[in-house]
Amino acid sequence: MHNNKATGNKGEQMAAAWLQQSGYTIKETNWRYSHWEVDIIASKENRLHFIEIKTRTSDKFGKPEESIGKKKMQNLRNAAEQYLYLYPHWKYVQFDMLAISMYYEKPVEYFLIEDVYF
């Protein structure tokens, strides 16, 4: 389990750096309310983005973007609703998913899936 946590933490750090290089402003990382968490909350061009980060070091259990289930997305939505209650000035909101593949001896791959509907 320690290895998965370390991979996840490294992926979230890499994601924040990649998003900043892509023009996003990071508002929050690992924002929590109750038992819900949003990996990254960022803004870009007057739009608030709630971003789930998934990182994998192998494709043994599938690609990172394939590992988000219905329950996880519901938790993301619940956390987002609370965040928007606290910061109601945001008119435009979007849910995104950033998959990071860090395979041995291969370049790191970033795959951003924007405006996920669930």
Percent of the chain whose pLDDT exceeds 90: 65
Q: Specify the CATH architecture of the domain 2-113.
A: 3-Layer(aba) Sandwich (3.40)
Domain residue extents for the chain: 2-113
User: What pLDDT score was predicted for residue 116?
Assistant: 87
Contact 43, 92 (CB under 8 A): no
User: What pLDDT score was predicted for residue 9?
Assistant: 84
User: What pLDDT score was predicted for residue 24?
Assistant: 98
In eight-state DSSP terms, residue 59 is S
pLDDT tens, position by position, 36-49 = 999 999 999 999 99
Phi-psi category of residue 85: left, alpha or beta, with phi > 0 → left and psi -120 to 50 → alpha: alpha
The ranges of the chain with pLDDT < 70 are: 1-2, 118
User: What pLDDT score was predicted for residue 1?
Assistant: 47
Among 55, 40, 59, which Cα is nearest to 5's? 55
